[in-house]
């Protein structure tokens, strides 16, 4: 019987990725471009990219909001999932990241359905108010601002909107009351908000795998 160790979680995740996700030239190229640009390898794991795609398709999402584009890896997954007549608005604070993402998204052949908005999400989000509601919101940006992003997800969504919040585990640090790490505090605040804010019904799952020990929250706007 194998042991539950980070090395085994990684091997198992690699096996699942190979088996169920496989390889894709456009996604591989997006990751290579991200690495060449010196951006951190903090995109979602392949199995999670596919999960985002499945959640978008299961919910029939046509309009998707992503907060935190990075190199466009998850953006491409979501853009494919919304189909030809769908739209993804992805917000990225760092212009250099947005340029890399834009090129990768275009090269993946889904550029026509993706708008990359450059700026601090807390400033860009209010400018989206008044547009059609988003069907799915993926939050994967600076964790300190998670509660602001959840608030906008509810405001820019509608009853039935799916909200996914990345990185809720942080190597177990979220149970450390004494943590002074602003990313941990922002994540804990977000989880408390998902529990208490009547606009959401939520759960969270821990994940282990090629990205280590982490997790995501899944919520429905009610």
Q: How far is the CB of 150 from ligand DHB (least distance, A)?
A: 15
x/- map, 120-149, ligand DHB, by CB under 6 A: --------------------x---------
Binding flag, residue 166, ligand DHB (CB under 6 A): yes
E strands in 7-146: 63-67, 87-92, 114-118, 136-139
Binding flag, residue 13, ligand DHB (CB under 6 A): no
d(CA 189, CA 191): 6
Interface with Mg ion: number of residues (CB under 5 A): 3
d(CA 202, CA 207): 16
| DSSP 8-state class, residue 210 | T
Compute the half-sphere exposure of residue 23: CA atoms within 13 Å on the CB side of its CA: 3
Contacts of 24 (CB under 8 A, 6+ apart): none
The residue of the chain with the least Cβ separation from Mg ion equals 166
- Quick one: 94 or 111, whose CB is closer to ligand DHB? 94
Interface residues for Mg ion in 151-180 (CB under 5 A)? Answer: 166-167
Binding flag, residue 42, ligand DHB (CB under 6 A): yes
| Helix locations, 173-213, DSSP H | 182-196
Q: How far is the CB of 211 from ligand DHB (least distance, A)?
A: 7
d(CA 65, CA 68): 10
Facing residues of 201 across strands? 220
Binding flag, residue 34, ligand DHB (CB under 6 A): no
Q: How far is the CB of 85 from ligand DHB (least distance, A)?
A: 29
Binding flag, residue 140, Mg ion (CB under 5 A): yes
Query: Could you say which of 34, 161, 167, 207 contacts ligand DHB (CB under 6 A)?
Result: 167
């Amino acid at each position: 019987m194998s042991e539950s160790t980070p090395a085994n979680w990684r091997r198992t995740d690699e096996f699942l990725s190979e088996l169920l996700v496989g390889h894709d030239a456009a996604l591989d190229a997006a990751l290579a471009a991200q690495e060449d640009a010196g951006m951190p390898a903090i995109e979602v794991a392949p199995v999670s990219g596919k999960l985002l795609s499945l959640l978008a398709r299961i919910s029939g999402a046509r309009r998707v909001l992503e907060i935190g584009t990075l190199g466009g890896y998850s953006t491409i997954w979501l853009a494919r999932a919304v189909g030809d007549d769908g739209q993804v608005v992805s917000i990225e604070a760092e212009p250099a990241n947005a340029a890399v993402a834009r090129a990768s998204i275009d090269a993946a052949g889904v550029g026509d359905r993706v708008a990359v908005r450059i700026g601090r999400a807390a400033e860009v989000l209010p400018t989206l108010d008044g547009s059609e509601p988003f069907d799915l919101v993926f939050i994967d940006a600076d964790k300190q601002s998670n509660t602001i992003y959840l608030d906008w997800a509810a405001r820019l969504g509608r009853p039935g909107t799916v909200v996914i919040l990345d990185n809720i585990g942080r190597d177990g640090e979220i149970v450390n009351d004494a943590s002074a790490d602003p990313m941990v505090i922002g994540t804990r605040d977000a989880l408390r908000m998902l529990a208490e804010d009547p606009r959401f019904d939520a759960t969270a799952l821990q994940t282990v795998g090629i990205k280590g020990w982490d997790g995501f929250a899944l919520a429905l706007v009610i």
